[in-house]
Amino acid sequence: MTHRIHCIVGARPNFVKIAPIMRALATQPGMSARLIHTGQHYDAEMSRHFFEDLAIPDPDRYLGVGAGSHAVQTARIMELYEEVLDDERPELVLVVGDVNSTLACSLVAVKAGTQVAHVEAGLRSFDRTMPEEINRLLTDQIADLLLTSCRNADENLLREGIAAEKIHFVGNVMIDTLRQSLALAAGRAPLQQWGLEPAGYAVATIHRPANVDAAPGLERVLAILSGLGERLPVVMPVHPRTEKRIEALGQREQFAAVRRLRPTPPLRYLEFLDLMRQARLVLTDSGGIQEETSVLGVPCLTLRPNTERPITITAGTNRLVGTDPAAVLAAADEVLATPLPTEAPQIEGWDGAAAGRIAALLSTALGGS
């Protein structure tokens, strides 16, 4: 008997997580996984290039939801995914991460009586102003299997009253992808062409609504990048949200004037991995990059007041620095005055084998082949 599973993806960080899971499910006897792409991210730079770099099979269904307010985007995904679920009747729906597609498809599945497995369950920033925190809390409340990437997530779930037997520590699938891609990524970032030396530049990625949506946040980002550019060259792949806000808030000239700032369109996965691996320092407000820099042993300054990934601080290379320009630049100076770590930290379950554990667990949960 073959067990039918839907794997859901919508936005860029989902692609990085689903790649090793699709591969592991393809080799697990008795499992048949279909890939459903909601289309939350749709530009080639945000979507198709990731499928190519990560060798993800083409989606079996593409919902094409595109952009919209949170309510519109979530509702559209629910309407469209319900039709697909009714049509295909999978036994289990696997969702990853914390984007709107994660919550929308979980809600549809659970109300149709279909089991839901949530990969990267239990992460908490304890900041309910973040849309992702709401998506995480609600998805975890309704999922049947909560697959966690760090022990701290297990504790968060238990504290929220989730039954212990639903929680399974499996490790970090994003790190599976990173480990599988390192050799392929070597040489992909055009450092020479950009006039950069290994360990002689910083990388910045900034796209969270709290940092880019309103003028005060964006002005702080501008001040941070200006100060950093005084110290070393800064490569900044610009997320579409950030690009739109810079334009709408009339800040294009100010950003263009920042000394030694090299804005680029969003980079491909392998190019970005190679760029990050050789950086002296990474500044980010992303979630996944805090994890990736930890495994690469590259210092990371997170431009947020909190993180849902505290293990990257206690065991990795991450530091929470907020967004006050003076504080961020002081932290950058400390990093630049300290030699780069010679060894990358080892974190439990971030070993490249998480997807295999997930496939085995799902097979058991569905009653084997």
Is 99 a binder of ligand UD1 (CB under 6 A)?
yes
Residue 17 binds ligand UD1 (CB under 6 A): no
Tell me the closest approach of the beta carbon of residue 252 to ligand UD1, in angstroms: 16
**Judged by CB under 6 A, does residue 88 bind ligand UD1?**
no
Catalytic position from the list 6, 37, 118, 207: 207
Distance CA 309, CA 307 (A): 5
Other beta carbons within 10 angstroms of residue 78's beta carbon come to: 19
One residue of 142, 144, 191, 240 binding ligand UD1 per CB under 6 A = 240
How far is 72 from 145, CA to CA, in rounded Å? 28
Task: Give the nearest distance from C-beta 208 to ligand UD1 in angstroms.
Answer: 7
Query: Shortest approach of ligand UD1 to residue 12 CB, angstroms?
Result: 4
Alpha-carbon Rg for the chain in angstroms: 20
What tokens does 217 get?
């946040």
CB of residue 299 to ligand UD1, shortest distance in Å = 21
The binder of ligand UD1 chosen from 112, 127, 131, 336 (CB under 6 A): 131
Q: Between 95 and 347, whose beta carbon lies closer to ligand UD1?
A: 95
Is residue 217 near ligand UD1 by the rule CB under 6 A? no
Nearest to 121 by CA among 93, 159, 100, 95: 95
**Which residue from 15, 42, 51, 201 is in contact with ligand UD1, where contact means CB under 6 A?**
42
Sign, CA torsion 336/338/341/347: negative
- DSSP string of 281-316, one letter each residue: EEEE--SHHHHHHHHHT--EEE-SS--S-THHHHTS
In this structure, are residues 294 and 317 in contact, taking their beta carbons and an 8 Å threshold? Answer: yes
Q: Which amino acid does the sequence have at 115?
A: Q
Among 3, 6, 12, 309, binds ligand UD1 (CB under 6 A): 12
d(CA 332, CA 137): 33
Task: Report the site for ligand UD1 in 151-210 (rule: CB under 6 A).
Answer: 207
Contact call for residue 67 and ligand UD1 (CB under 6 A) = yes
Shortest Å distance, C-beta 51 to ligand UD1: 13
Q: Interface residues for ligand UD1 in 46-65 (CB under 6 A)?
A: 46-47
Stretch near ligand UD1 under the rule CB under 6 A, chosen from 26-34, 96-104, 251-259, 326-334: 96-104
CB of residue 355 vs ligand UD1: minimum separation in angstroms? Answer: 21
Question: Phi and psi dihedrals of 2, rounded to 5?
Answer: -105, 130
Q: Among 9-17, 229-237, 272-280, 319-327, which window interacts with ligand UD1 (CB under 6 A)?
A: 9-17
Residue 241 within binding range of ligand UD1, rule CB under 6 A = yes
CB burial string 120-142: b at 16+ within 10 A, e below: bbbbbbeeeebbbbebbeebbee
Task: Record the tokens describing residue 74, joined without a space.
Answer: 């979530």
User: Side chain identity at 205, as an amino acid letter?
Assistant: T
**Catalytic annotation on 207?**
yes
| Listed ranges 38-46, 86-94, 164-172, 182-190: which one lies at the site for ligand UD1 (CB under 6 A) | 38-46
How far apart CA 11 and CA 102 sit, in angstroms, is: 9
CA–CA distance, 47 with 36 (Å, rounded to integer): 13
What is the contact surface with ligand UD1 in residues (CB under 6 A)? 11-13, 40-43, 46-47, 67, 98-100, 131-132, 207, 239-241, 244
Catalytically active residues are 207
